[in-house]
Amino acid sequence: MDPKMPKGVLFDLDGTLLDSAPDFVASLDSLLKKHNLPKLDPNIIRSHVSDGSWKLTSLAFNIDMSDEKCPALREELLEEYESNLLKYGGAFDGIEEMLASLERDGIPYGIVTNKPLRFAEPILINEPVFKNCKTLICPDHLDAIKPDPEGILRGCKDLGIHPTECVYVGDHVKDIEAAMNAGTQVVACYFGYSLQVHDCSKHILGANHPNELYELILQL
């Protein structure tokens, strides 16, 4: 391995490696139909996927996340989503080739996500693109989630590398903050669900398409 290359890469999942928005759109459509409510604009759903299921539930039912009805409605959404995993979504175009390039260069990768293990693990098992993922870190494994650096630091440990030898890739401001808090290099995904160019420092490299990720990772 070229000594200038990173020794490992950690990725966020939704909006970074995985286009899960179509599964969430289908799940919310089904749930809202059961409650005799109109569908949400798919673009609104897409823009909030990386904000998590509490936010999606709040948007769908026009209630605050602290509303006493929110937990039960959220669980209904999660059950719908669980039944739709990978039915409509999957790895973004270009991700398979990017991961294959990392593997060719001997650079291991893992995933650090705020997605619960209940959903993330079946995705890794059933999406062949992720077959060589070396570690999966979910909130179930941690005391604190992103933007806390705990998950990234644990991922680095699992890969056997120091944080300064790692690149973290994500599509949410919490990903950028977590990477900075952990002391890793960072690449922003502007093709994902949340980040816009103006959200990040001009010093942070950003990809507008997954096929740009490999070259950006090697620049760090």
Query: Over the stretch 116-126, which tens digit does the pLDDT of each residue have?
Result: 999 999 999 99
Q: Which of 84, 100, 125 is a domain's end point? A: 84
Residue 3 covered by a domain = no
| pLDDT tens column, 170-198 | 999 999 999 999 999 999 999 999 888 77
Query: In the prediction, which pLDDT does 158 show?
Result: 98
Q: Which domain holds residue 170?
A: 8-19+89-219
* Domain identity same for 169 and 207: yes
Within this chain, do residues 50 and 157 fall inside the same structural domain, yes or no?
Answer: no
pTM for the predicted model, two decimal places: 0.94
pLDDT in tens, 127-148: 999 999 999 999 999 999 999 9
**Mean pLDDT within 62-76:** 96
Both 198 and 142 in one domain: the answer is yes
- In the set 12, 23, 171, 175, the catalytic residue is 12
Domain count of the fold of the chain: 2
% of the chain with per-residue pLDDT over 70: 99
For the question of residue 51 being annotated catalytic, the response is: no
pLDDT for 203 equals: 83
- Per-residue exposure over 180-206, b if at least 16 CB sit within 10 Å of its own CB, e if not: bbbebbbbbbbbbbbbeeeebeeebbb
154 and 126 housed in the same domain: yes
User: Quick one: average pLDDT of 204-214?
Assistant: 95
User: Is position 103 within any domain?
Assistant: yes
Residue 199 pLDDT grade (very low, low, confident, very high; cuts 50, 70, 90): confident
199 is catalytic: no
Q: Are residues 27 and 15 in the same domain?
A: no
